[in-house]
Amino acid sequence: MAFDVDFFDLSPGQVLLRNLFLYAQEKGIREFDFTVGDETYKSRYANHTRRNYALVLYPRTARGRVAHVAHAAKERLRSYPSVYRAAKIVMSNASATASRITRIVRRDGVARIMGTIAARLFRSALYSRDEVLVFTVKEPDVAPNPRGLTYRVAALSDLADAVVAHPEYLGDETLYDLRERIKKGSIPFVAVDNGDIVHIIWYRVESRVASSELGEDFVFELEHPVGIIFDARTPHVARGRGIYPTAMSLISQHIRRAGLEPWAYVLPGNAASRRGLEKTGIEVRHRMIKITWFHWIRRRVVQRDIVST
């Protein structure tokens, strides 16, 4: 059973089950069998459970003994449904984390990753200076639209298609995370090329700027709401075509039509994103800086109305 994720909040699976129950009642069917499986929705409706038994044989080897113990532990957990569901969630998250780590290692290499970790440990132990550049747009330039591209507000199903086509596209976030982001008011836009999503960019209306890179407790309070552009992503196969500057230009115009000033922020080392911003007439206006000594002495500074450098 599957459903259109754009109707996620309407619980289409429960609506379908209700109609199935009504159909069974009208036909005089006395039993509705959910068949094998311990999914949560089954225990929500079922008033009786039948146990199935299976005979499993293992070889008398070390590998067989390990498999036997693992299987016995799993079956034991099934006797405690809430614990078993929690264990499944933990294992699913662990598997997803392992997949992300594998992708990062393949992309960056072990040597580069270890070097980055060592540098961060050294910086955090003695001294670190973290910075975020805040860009604003007065009159956004109209970047040329690469031929064949269309731009529109994205539905959750668009994001699901992007995840399937490019597993590395959305980083550490799951479709559930993106759904929650939309429910909280963030709006995704997509660039589409011959039916394929080749860019995703978001914006939200805020009266403050807060960056996860500096910690959620470091907040730049604003005098009025602005449209903050964030989390722009282009898959590797679509890079180098000028898609990002065009997306920035179009979403900036959308924000201005809503009566808001477009803002964006990036890390200083993200040269590609910074070039894309500057191509659309966006300039650095503020800097958010966090300085840390010996891991616990902190100083936070906001440099306002600076000259773009």
Q: Which domains are seen in the chain, by residue range?
A: 5-91 (no CATH), 130-303 (3.40.630.30)
Q: What is the pLDDT of residues 264-298, one digit of tens each?
A: 988 887 887 887 777 777 778 888 998 888 777 88
C-alpha distance from residue 97 to each of 94, 104, 129, 190 (Å)? 5, 11, 28, 26
pTM, 2 dp: 0.67
**Average pLDDT of the chain, as a whole number:** 82
C-alpha distance from residue 127 to each of 6, 115, 120 (Å)? 47, 17, 10
Tokens of 57: 């044989």
Q: What angle do CA 3, 10, 40 make, to 5 degrees?
A: 70
Sign of CA pseudo-dihedral 20, 21, 25, 30:
positive
Alpha carbon distance 233, 244 (integer Å): 8
pLDDT surpassing 80 at residue 107: no
**Contact present, 127 and 292 (Cβ < 8 Å):** yes
pLDDT at residue 307 in the model? 58
